[in-house]
């Protein structure tokens, strides 16, 4: 503000309407600032929007009103919980049911819903709310994130994302509420638990409002099936859900992204179920003493949740070492792009395996279903995998130094945080504040990093006026 503006708005020169004009001037500056970021660097806007949202929810969870005891929650616990909710992870350092009041749990639930919309969607909505429009660059990022056909469809698709989330979550809640009523809960409790589990499952968050989680319902298919269905639908991603809504099960009408996402998701689901069940079949600490039906249910449930759901029916510390290694691989793989799941994404895995197969056959192009995958897409896939592996490695090294825990527990917790899964060996609750901040930052990087990196690399191309001579180093 200039000196003349300061004098004109001083108490001595105040006139009716000046506060309104001052507020309008501030709003205009904020609008121009956000619109400038959206047009020049949408990725930066996405990161900033997510960061600000986490800080807001941290402040809310720090209030005495948010804790069950009425006391202020320590900063590292409030920050970690806010990051876990907004990044739809589900890792906790305090019990969700015991530590937080109803207000605190409501804040967590709202954080899950907001975070489940995704970084690019959230950034686009922020630009729309403040600027009333999206710049061309912002529309390009949103278009890439949601696989929109034309730039004019972006605003409509943003609304569809929110409506889709609400409709699916409402359907899940209406399925779960009657079951909680039958199990003896009061009507308000049943409604709250039904809504909480519906939002938590579709957004792949894994938070539970019960102190002992869903373990008491380990044989109740009325509860387990909706949870698995919600997690699986959420892990497919909004672009896939919209294609299914428009074209149904007509395979030929699906685009390549939808075909790869669904095919690889079912492959990982089936492989995870068989392998997890095989490795834990005789483990008396998990499913060894159960009958055949319950063993199959546990194996299927574990396979679904390892891809980012975060709900668990068995103690992760009681699993075999081989099962923990399998879990690490499934968690790192994650779900679909532009979804509520984390990980490096199933399409990334598909592209890399297709590239390996093409190289083994001696093909010049990577082809699948009558389409050729561009080289730029393969470079993005490699970048995502390397970036993810680097983040996990560095974070695991830091946590090993901080906690002095065993490697299998540290690696499990680290990958769970990066892939926003939420399954835990209880290491998060045992860590000192420094370790808690490491995991919180890793959750943030896992939620925004790969998607933003992929979008940035895919759309940020520089024109070159010259080309160096090619020379091929020895590989392998």
CA angle 61, 64, 69 (to 5 degrees): 110
Beta bridge partners of 366: 373
| Interhelix angle 433-459/136-146, nearest 10 degrees | 100
Question: For position 20, what pLDDT does the model report?
Answer: 56
Give pTM, 2 decimals.
0.85
Question: For position 472, what pLDDT does the model report?
Answer: 73
Q: Exposure pattern of 135-152 as b/e (b: 16+ CB <10 Å)?
A: bebbbbbbbbbbbbeeee
CB 209 within 8 A of CB 196: yes
Q: Is 27 exposed, middle or buried (0-12, 13-18, 19+ CB in 10 A)?
A: exposed
10-24, 37-51, 166-180, 460-474: segment of lowest average pLDDT: 10-24
Question: For position 12, what pLDDT does the model report?
Answer: 47
Can you read off the two tokens belonging to residue 40?
């020049």
Give the Cα separation of 104 and 95 in Å (integer): 12
**Distances from the Cα of 298 to the Cαs of 154, 211, 228, 236, 259, in angstroms?**
40, 20, 11, 21, 28
Taking residue 179's Cβ as centre, other Cβ atoms within 10 Å add up to 18
Closest alpha carbon to 112 in 193, 205, 208:
205
Where do the H-state alpha helices sit in 237-255?
238-247
Give the Cα separation of 369 and 349 in Å (integer): 16
At residue 456, what are phi and psi to the nearest 5 degrees? -65, -45
Give the Cα separation of 435 and 427 in Å (integer): 10
The yes-or-no verdict on residue 7 having pLDDT over 50 is no
**Distances from the Cα of 78 to the Cαs of 68, 107, 110, 430, 474, in angstroms?**
13, 11, 15, 16, 50
Q: Over the stretch 104-163, which tens digit does the pLDDT of each residue have?
A: 999 999 999 888 876 556 655 555 554 445 554 455 545 544 554 444 455 566 677 778
Question: For position 229, what pLDDT does the model report?
Answer: 95
């Amino acid at each position: 503000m200039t000196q003349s503006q300061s004098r004109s708005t001083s108490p001595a020169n105040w006139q009716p309407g000046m506060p309104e004009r001052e507020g309008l001037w501030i709003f205009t500056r904020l609008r121009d600032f956000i619109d400038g970021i959206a047009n020049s660097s949408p990725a930066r806007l996405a990161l900033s929007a997510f960061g600000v949202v986490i800080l807001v929810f941290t402040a809310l969870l720090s209030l005495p009103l948010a804790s069950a005891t009425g006391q202020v929650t320590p900063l590292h616990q409030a920050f970690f919980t806010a990051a876990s909710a907004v990044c739809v992870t589900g890792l906790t350092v305090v019990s969700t049911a015991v530590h937080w009041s109803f207000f605190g749990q409501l804040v967590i639930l709202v954080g899950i819903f907001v975070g489940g919309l995704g970084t690019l969607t959230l950034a686009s909505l922020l630009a729309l709310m403040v600027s009333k429009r999206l710049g061309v660059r912002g529309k390009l990022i949103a278009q890439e994130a949601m696989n929109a056909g034309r730039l004019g469809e972006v605003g409509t698709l943003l609304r569809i994302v929110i409506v889709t989330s609400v409709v699916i979550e409402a359907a899940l809640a209406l399925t779960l509420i009657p079951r909680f009523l039958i199990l003896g809960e009061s009507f308000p409790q049943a409604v709250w638990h039904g809504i909480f589990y519906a939002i938590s499952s579709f957004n792949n968050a894994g938070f539970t409002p019960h102190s002992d989680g869903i373990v008491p319902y380990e044989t109740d298919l009325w509860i387990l099936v909706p949870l698995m269905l919600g997690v699986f639908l959420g892990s497919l991603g909004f672009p896939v859900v919209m294609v299914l809504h428009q074209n149904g099960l007509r395979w030929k009408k699906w685009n390549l992204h939808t075909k790869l996402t669904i095919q690889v998701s079912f492959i990982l689901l089936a492989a995870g179920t068989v392998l997890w069940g095989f490795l834990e079949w005789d483990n008396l600490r998990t499913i060894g003493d159960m009958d055949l039906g319950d063993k199959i249910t546990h194996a299927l449930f574990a396979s679904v949740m390892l891809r980012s759901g975060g709900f668990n029916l068995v103690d992760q510390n009681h699993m075999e070492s081989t099962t923990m290694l399998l879990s690490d691989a499934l968690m790192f793989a994650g779900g679909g792009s532009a979804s509520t799941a984390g990980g490096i994404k199933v399409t990334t895995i598909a592209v890399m395996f297709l590239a390996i197969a093409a190289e083994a056959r001696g093909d010049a192009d990577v082809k699948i279903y009558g389409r050729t995958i561009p080289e730029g897409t393969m470079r993005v896939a490699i970048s995502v995998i390397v970036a993810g592996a680097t983040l996990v490695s560095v974070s695991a090294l830091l946590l090993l130094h901080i906690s002095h825990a065993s490697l299998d527990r540290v690696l499990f917790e680290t990958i769970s945080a990066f892939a926003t899964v939420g399954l835990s060996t209880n290491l998060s609750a045992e860590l000192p504040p420094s370790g808690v901040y490491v995991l919180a930052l890793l959750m943030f990087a896992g939620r925004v990093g790969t998607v933003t990196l992929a979008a940035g690399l895919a759309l940020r191309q520089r024109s070159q006026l010259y080309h160096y001579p090619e020379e091929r180093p020895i590989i392998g």
